[in-house]
A and B are shown apart, each in its own frame.
Chain A
Amino acid sequence: MKETPENNASNRPVPENFFDEQFHQILKKTVETEHWSIPGTKNVESIFPVPEGYWLKMEEQVRQKVNSPSLPLLIPSFRFKLASATVTFLLLIFAGWWVMTPKLETENWKAQLEKIPQEDLIAFVDYQNRDVQEYTEKLASKSLQEQDLPLTLPKMNETDIEEALEDIQPNDLTDNFDIN
């Protein structure tokens, strides 16, 4: 096998006490770090000014706070409870809206359906469910006067009409009938 620098390095014998020396170096460095300091910088209290009479004032302020806690300083558990109560309340409103909205729409929808004459409604669903191609062809073969009367076309049977009525969407009604 050809010798590479790595092989050379791994074959080189480790000097006696190598690990002891390494350990000693690390220890020395750590100890040096431990005692490292820039002269005259240890007394931090002299370099950050504090207003006169501050310590007594602070004591007084803390005492006031614990005796009459204001809202922002109330215990965190209370703040947490307040936040969770707000979130729960909002969630309940959203859930209520989410559950009720489709119901309201359905009720409104049923009321709208009742306003439309049954005959027109059946004609409409009949028109909606007819094969477009077939319907267009039939229309094309009729005179212009006949074209606005979908009722003249063959009617669907009752089951088909019931199914089709179930499929009607609110938009279909508002787009096609004059209802509020």
Chain B
Amino acid sequence: MHSDDREIIENFRNEATKNKAFNLLIRKYQKRVYWLIRKMVIDHDDANDVSQEVFVRVWYHLEEFRQESGLFTWIYRIATNECLAFLRKKKRRFFIPIHDVEGELSHKINEGNHFTGDEIQKKLQLAILKLPEKQRLVFNMKYFEEITYEEMSEILGTSVGALKASYHHAVQKIQADVTLEERF
């Protein structure tokens, strides 16, 4: 674990420095957490809600954190769980099948308020949205954030081999999707 993370945890456990430590923690990880979530939920307001929920959870549970993994890994684990829970809740709330949530997210990318990328970036994002949620998470973590498989394995609780296979399949699907779209 990084020494500054250890310092954050120690200060957080001390009532006098708790708030200051928490502010440091938010500043250090807010962008990474937000972007991980934003890529999954697309909408800024949703990403904001989920990110805030992640940090509220961190506040309530950091004292129980046993430091068996890095602080970043632990926060990321909370973020991925919150993100998947949010998407599941969204599906349940509206009683709509999986493709409709993806349809809703694709619509957000197409309408332009939530997306300012060029054509190829849009194609890639739309192709990513067609992947199953967990595979999408794996792809985003590896492709955009370049997180190692070992670290990802700790975050998601999945074996390195399974993650490699998952990423491999995701790439193949995206490649096929993007190429197919280019052909038509």
Chain A contacts of B107 at CB under 8 A? none
Whether B44 and A33, one on each chain, are in contact in the complex, defined by CB atoms closer than 8 angstroms, is: no
Cα distance A146–B42 in the bound complex, in angstroms: 89
Which residues 51-75 in B have Cβ within 8 Å of A in the complex?
Answer: 51-53, 55-57, 59-60
Chain B contacts of A48 at CB under 8 A? 38-39, 42, 44, 114-116
Whether B56 and A66, one on each chain, are in contact in the complex, defined by CB atoms closer than 8 angstroms, is: yes
Q: Is the interface of B mostly helix, strand, loop or mixed?
A: helix
The size of the chain A interface, using a CB distance under 8 A, is 30
Cβ of A63 under 8 Å from chain B: yes
Whether B60 and A49, one on each chain, are in contact in the complex, defined by CB atoms closer than 8 angstroms, is: no
Whether A33 and B114, one on each chain, are in contact in the complex, defined by CB atoms closer than 8 angstroms, is: no
The size of the chain B interface, using a CB distance under 8 A, is 41
A86-129 toward B: CB 8 Å interface, digit per residue (1/0)? 00000000000000000000000000000000000000000000
Which of A30, A40, A51, A65 makes the CB contact (< 8 A) with B164?
Answer: A30
Chain A contacts of B59 at CB under 8 A? 62, 66
Cβ of B159 under 8 Å from chain A: no
Cα distance A41–B53 in the bound complex, in angstroms: 29
Whether B30 and A55, one on each chain, are in contact in the complex, defined by CB atoms closer than 8 angstroms, is: yes
Cα distance A45–B60 in the bound complex, in angstroms: 29
Q: Is the interface of A mostly helix, strand, loop or mixed?
A: helix
Cα distance A58–B32 in the bound complex, in angstroms: 13
B15-58 toward A: CB 8 Å interface, digit per residue (1/0)? 00001001100110011001100110010100010011101110
Additional 20 contacts, C-beta under 8 A, given A51-B44, A66-B55, A66-B56? A29-B168, A33-B168, A36-B171, A42-B143, A42-B144, A44-B39, A45-B35, A47-B117, A47-B125, A49-B113, A49-B114, A50-B34, A58-B30, A58-B34, A58-B51, A62-B26, A62-B52, A62-B55, A66-B59, A73-B56
User: Chain B interface (Cβ within 8 Å of chain A)?
Assistant: 19, 22-23, 26-27, 30-31, 34-35, 38-39, 42, 44, 48, 51-53, 55-57, 59-60, 113-118, 120-121, 124-125, 143-144, 164, 167-168, 171-172, 175, 178
User: Chain A interface (Cβ within 8 Å of chain B)?
Assistant: 29-30, 33, 36-38, 40-42, 44-51, 54-55, 58-59, 61-63, 65-66, 69, 73, 75-76
Can you list 21 pairs linking A and B with CB atoms under 8 Å apart? A30-B168, A33-B168, A33-B171, A33-B172, A44-B39, A47-B117, A48-B116, A49-B44, A49-B114, A50-B34, A58-B34, A58-B48, A59-B23, A59-B27, A61-B52, A62-B56, A63-B23, A65-B52, A65-B56, A66-B22, A75-B60
